[in-house]
Structure 1
Amino acid sequence: MPYATVQEFTDFLDPDPVPANAARLLDKASRKLDQLLIGTRYPTSNGLPTDPELAAVFKEAVCLQAQYIADLGDETGANANVSQLHVGNQRMIRALSLGGDGTSRVSPDMLTLLQTSGLLLIYPIVWG
């Protein structure tokens, strides 16, 4: 279940046009958000957060991720490990792994929003 509607995504993108596959992008973006928040606890009703502030963060996060997927032009992630692409003479170089070079499958803006909202906690490891 997506955390944002096509109309909310349309409003978010305004004045830019909404992609024809907006509903599918919102579904994919919502699943990515669910993946990032595995283990996070918050009250829900019908799978949606009940807190209005949290629901607003989820909606914005999903819109950011859907926009990112659309802008990448790689909905399936098939080109996630492409580190270089030259159109002249059609040269493409793939990274050896998805963990290093290549395009992230998660919007940097979505990660920032989740971190600054306290949903994606980062605890430093301290030695000593």
Structure 2
Amino acid sequence: MPDVGDTATARLAVAPSDGTTLATLIVTSPAGIPSLPVVTRVEADGSVWTAPVVYTLAGLWRLSWTVTGTGASVEHEIVSVAPAPVVVATGRVYATTTQLAEYLGEAVPVDAVRLLTDASRALDDALKTARYCVDDDSLPTEPAVAAAFAEAVCAIVQWWGETGDPVGADGGWDSVSAGPVSLSRASGSQSATPMAAGNLPPRALAALQRVPGCHLSFGVWSSW
């Protein structure tokens, strides 16, 4: 599957073909905009026609061939183009791929940016009523809180990789306590969000619990 920005060579085999055969190509982008007809180049054997195609958008592209003369036909090909790989996160993400690699102690998966973004959203869902100081990008300003969030997000990604449990379905508990931290939930109760605080993986909860002066209760984490 090509990525955005790739240049590919479209090919069409025509049989039978002879000196009267002519193949042209119209490329329609995912935006529905067709190109002007491209006169393709015939390869040495005279039966295969080629044309360069530059993929500028993600989505489905249609390659429409029109052959006249001997071997006359109309052929269509659908090509799925992937977005350019993302290496820099956008929006509120609490950990970098470097932090994730250091946490895991190994190379991160190629979709690490997406996983960190999803894990950051999951943490936001779990702590959506929490209070802590933030900057203009809504990122925590206290170093201890930022470090805890980064570690928690990395722990969530690791948990997903180990359990295949992105909604925390196996993370239910009735009560958990450690020092000043106390959590409780009635047996059989349902979380209001895909990953409420009670369904954060244990290592993520532990990271939050280590922040001095913090209290985590009923899915609410606060830094006072």
**TM-score between the two structures when normalised by the length of structure 1:** 0.65
Mark the CA change 1:105 to 1:17 in structure 2 (over 3 Å): closer, same or farther.
farther
1:13 deviates by 1.3
Structure 2 partner of 1:18: 108
Q: Is the 8 A contact 1:65 1:107 kept in 2?
A: yes
1:106 deviates by 2.8
Aligned 1:1-128 pairs, distance under 5 A? 1-14=92-105, 16-45=106-135, 46-73=137-164, 75=166, 77=167, 80=169, 99=190, 106-117=200-211, 118-121=214-217
Q: Is the 8 A contact 1:25 1:66 kept in 2?
A: yes
1:113 deviates by 2.6
Q: Is the 8 A contact 1:64 1:107 kept in 2?
A: yes
CA displacement, residues 58-117 of structure 1 (integer Å, 9 cap, x when unaligned): 110111111111222355x5xx58xxxxxxxxxxxxxxx895xxxx96312112332443
CA RMSD between the two structures: 2.5
Instruction: For 2:95 and 2:206, locate their aligned partners in 1 and report how far apart those are by CA, in whole Å.
Output: 19
Mark the CA change 1:61 to 1:119 in structure 2 (over 3 Å): closer, same or farther.
farther
Q: Highest relative contact order (Cα 8 Å, sep 6+), 1 or 2?
A: 1
Letter aligned with residue 153 of structure 2 = V
Instruction: For 1:119 and 1:55, locate their aligned partners in 2 and report how far apart those are by CA, in whole Å.
Output: 16
Instruction: For 1:116 and 1:51, locate their aligned partners in 2 and report how far apart those are by CA, in whole Å.
Output: 14
Larger proportion of strand: 2
Unaligned 5+ runs, structure 2: 1-91, 171-187, 191-197, 219-224
Instruction: For 1:47 and 1:37, locate their aligned partners in 2 and report how far apart those are by CA, in whole Å.
Output: 13
* CA radius of gyration, larger in: 2
Larger proportion of helix: 1
1:3 deviates by 0.1
Instruction: For 1:105 and 1:48, locate their aligned partners in 2 and report how far apart those are by CA, in whole Å.
Output: 22
Count of residue pairs the alignment pairs up = 100
Unaligned 5+ runs, structure 1: 82-96, 123-128
Q: Is the 8 A contact 2:94 2:120 kept in 1?
A: yes
Letter aligned with residue 9 of structure 1 = L
Structure 2 partner of 1:89: none
Moved over 6 A (4+): none
Instruction: For 1:119 and 1:59, locate their aligned partners in 2 and report how far apart those are by CA, in whole Å.
Output: 18
**TM-score between the two structures when normalised by the length of structure 2:** 0.39
Mark the CA change 1:67 to 1:98 in structure 2 (over 3 Å): closer, same or farther.
farther
